[in-house]
Amino acid sequence: MIKPAAYQNMYAGKILDMILSNGFRIAAIKVLNLTSAQAAKFYEVHKERPFYNDLVKSMTSGTILAAILEKENAVEDYRTLIGATNPANAAEGTIRKYFGESVEKNAVHGSDSDENAIIEASFFFAELDRV
Ligand code: CMP
């Protein structure tokens, strides 16, 4: 997912270029505006965390881009490509280092396991949306 601030700042093209040139295949893609209820559901695992309400607000502040990415070892390799959650701690050359502004406006989201990738993919896409 490309988050609202990064999308608003016109970083989507550069971020997708990094994703594609690192060997990921885009199996589905769309832009959309999340409602509060949708953002709250997507990040439900964090609902007890102190940052949850701000996170939901931030994710509904503008358009996002959602995509399903495929690659051998995709979850781990994508997490390496995006860098640490807090852009201040992200390694040089990572997406969050280049395009993240803060822990909340950290440019992109990535699934943290194969299991969650399947859940998150089906949150955004129907089987027919995939190639
Ligand atoms: P993301 O990978 O989308 O998963 C949850 C998001 O919560 C995370 O990126 C951050 O943007 C946001 N967040 C805000 N504050 C924190 C925090 N203290 N720790 C972890 N994630 C946070």
> What is the tens place of the pLDDT at every residue in 13-27?
999 999 999 999 999
Phi, psi of 34 (to 5 degrees): -80, 140
Q: What is the pLDDT of residue 35?
A: 98
Residue with tokens 């970083």: 11
The catalytic site residues sit at 109
For ligand 1, atom 10, which residue shows the shortest CA distance?
Answer: 104
For residue 79, the CA-to-ligand 1 centroid distance in Å is 14
For residue 104, the CA-to-ligand 1 centroid distance in Å is 6
Number of the ligand 1 atom closest to the C-alpha atom of 112: 2
CATH number of 4-129: 3.30.70.141
Q: DSSP string covering 14-37, please?
A: HHHHHHHHTT-EEEEEEEE---HH
> What is the tens place of the pLDDT at every residue in 30-47?
999 999 999 999 999 999
Mean pLDDT for all residues in the chain: 98
Q: Which residues of the chain have pLDDT under 50?
A: none
Q: What is the pLDDT of residue 90?
A: 98
Find the distance separating the first CA and the last CA of the chain, reported in whole Å: 18
Determine if the pTM surpasses 0.95.
Answer: yes
